Amino acid sequence: MTKFTLNPIEEIDGKQDIYKIQIDDECLFDNFEDEIEKRGQYEEELNSIYSLIEDVANNKLLPKTKFRDISISKKDTVKEYEFKSKHLRVYPIKASNGKIIIMGGYKNNQKKDIKKFRSIKSEYVKTLEK
């Protein structure tokens, strides 16, 4: 069975708590950050996404071009979101006291990433129901 662990993102200071999810000792968001750092590309965009995350954590409204609800249905009990920059995407879900970042990805892989994101979310939500 998959083990999920929530780790707070200490760099984000806000009214809402922001977590990144660890799946069996692997954090997809950390891997995404490491990949960007190694490539030396899009680091400024990642910093701007961190600013957007902090704005959301402080209950600021953002334009849909930067942060939007991508839930399939309005009836979905765990909302899905997307933080956007020109080339990068970060995918969190709603938690009772904030947001849980599941993964990050690139605009050109968006469809595949959203499919993976929803699969992980579904698995995580099942663990909450037990």
pLDDT at 130 over 90: no
The residue range of the domain holding 34 is 4-128
Total domain count, the chain? 1
pLDDT tens, residue by residue, 75-95: 888 999 999 999 999 999 999
Report the greatest alpha carbon distance in the chain.
Answer: 42
pLDDT tens, residue by residue, 28-43: 999 999 999 999 999 9
pLDDT, mean over the chain: 96
* Secondary structure of residue 82 in the 3-state scheme: strand
99 CB-contact burial (10 Å; exposed 0-12 / middle 13-18 / buried 19+):
buried
At 125 the pLDDT is: 94
Q: What is the mean pLDDT of residues 120-129?
A: 93
At 101 the pLDDT is: 98
Q: What is the mean pLDDT of residues 46-57?
A: 97
At 129 the pLDDT is: 81
At 114 the pLDDT is: 98
At 18 the pLDDT is: 98
Query: What whole-number distance in Å separates Cα of residue 25 and Cα of residue 31?
Result: 12
